[in-house]
Amino acid sequence: MKNKLSGFLINLLGVILGITLTFGVNSLWQKREENRKIKEMLTMVRKELEINKEYFKGHENTIKEDSYVYVKILENKDNIADFPKDTLLNYLSRMFNISDYQLTTSSWEIFQNSELIQKMTNKELLIRLTECYWLINRIQEFVMKEYWDIKRKILVYDLDPYQFFKEILKNKEAVYFFTVISGYGGYSNFMDIFLNVDIYIDYTIMILDKYGDFQYDMDDKDKEFELFFETRMDSLRSKNDTLTTK
């Protein structure tokens, strides 16, 4: 009787240990698969951020070109007829340049709507990704759309350069918007929106590159982000000032 009971208990213990081991192995495998999929998604998001960085850089460069033209025309609005035709044709060619870069957010949207995002343990990374894409979408929606809409409206004017710029100067909406863009008349902060998104993307990519061993401490990381932001902003502003004076 004792032998049967001992045998039963040993078998039972073996079954329990087998079930526990099986569940443990399955749990570890599932966790490993989740981490692998998360890293795959974050790799796609990182690539998407780099594409968007180029997207905004393309628009920024085009707007800088435009702002140069706006300043020259607005400063000489009373004597447009005295401009050499070659100069106005050069300005006109710049005006008709419209960036064809395309914003993309599909990787982030897929990740954001998946169950994988709930498995993330790096809270700062999630916070920075959310902030970064919020900024990207706001600039796209409220700034870039408005800018290109206004620019397309004025591009319907007669292609004769003298007539073209005279018509622009009659368009109060365009003149006001372009003076803000160009920094003409005391405005100087519009281009900072591009500096902001550039810094946010770079910082987010930096955190993505550290994913896996990046220790989460929001107070410290907020200070780190603020220092990174201020340093990069000063550097980019200085670079932009140099470019716009050429």
Say what the pLDDT of residue 243 is: 43
Asked whether residue 19 is assigned to any structural domain, the reply reads: no
Taking the CA atoms of 135, 141, 143 and 145 in sequence, report the sign of the dihedral they define.
positive
Residue 149 sits in which domain range? 37-244
CB 56 within 8 A of CB 197: yes
Token match 């039972």: residue?
12
pLDDT tens digits, 226-237: 777 777 777 766
Q: Is residue 112 a part of any domain in this protein?
A: yes
What are the tens digits of pLDDT across the range 127-166?
A: 888 989 998 988 888 777 777 777 777 777 777 888 888 8
Per the domain annotation, does 5 fall within a domain?
Answer: no
Question: What's the CA gap between 180 and 67, in Å, rounded?
Answer: 9
* pLDDT surpasses 80 at 86: yes
| Percent of residues in the chain assigned helix, strand, coil, to nearest 5 | 85, 0, 15
Mean pLDDT across the chain: 75
Look at residue 91 and tell me whether its pLDDT is greater than 70. yes
CA distance 216 to 233: 25
Let me know the angle formed at the C-alpha of 142 by 139 and 147, rounded to the nearest 5 degrees: 95
In a domain, 20, yes or no: no
pLDDT, residue 85, reads: 86
Would you state the structure tokens that stand for residue 92, as one six-digit string?
Answer: 């006109």
C-beta pairs of 144-151 under 8 Å, 24+ apart in sequence = 144/59, 144/103, 146/177, 147/59, 147/63, 147/177, 147/181, 148/98, 150/174, 150/177, 151/66, 151/95, 151/98
Number of structural domains (the chain) is 1
| 159 located within any domain | yes
| pLDDT confidence band for 103 (50 / 70 / 90) | confident
7, part of any domain: no
What are the tokens at 65? 């070109």
Cβ atoms of 211 and 41 within 8 Å: the answer is no
Instruction: Give domain status of residue 212, yes or no.
Output: yes
* CA nearest to 111, candidates 5, 34, 31, 197: 34
Residues 148 and 73 sit within 8 Å (Cβ to Cβ):
no
User: Can you give the pLDDT at residue 14?
Assistant: 58
| Predicted local distance difference test score (pLDDT) of residue 153 | 78
In a domain, 146, yes or no: yes
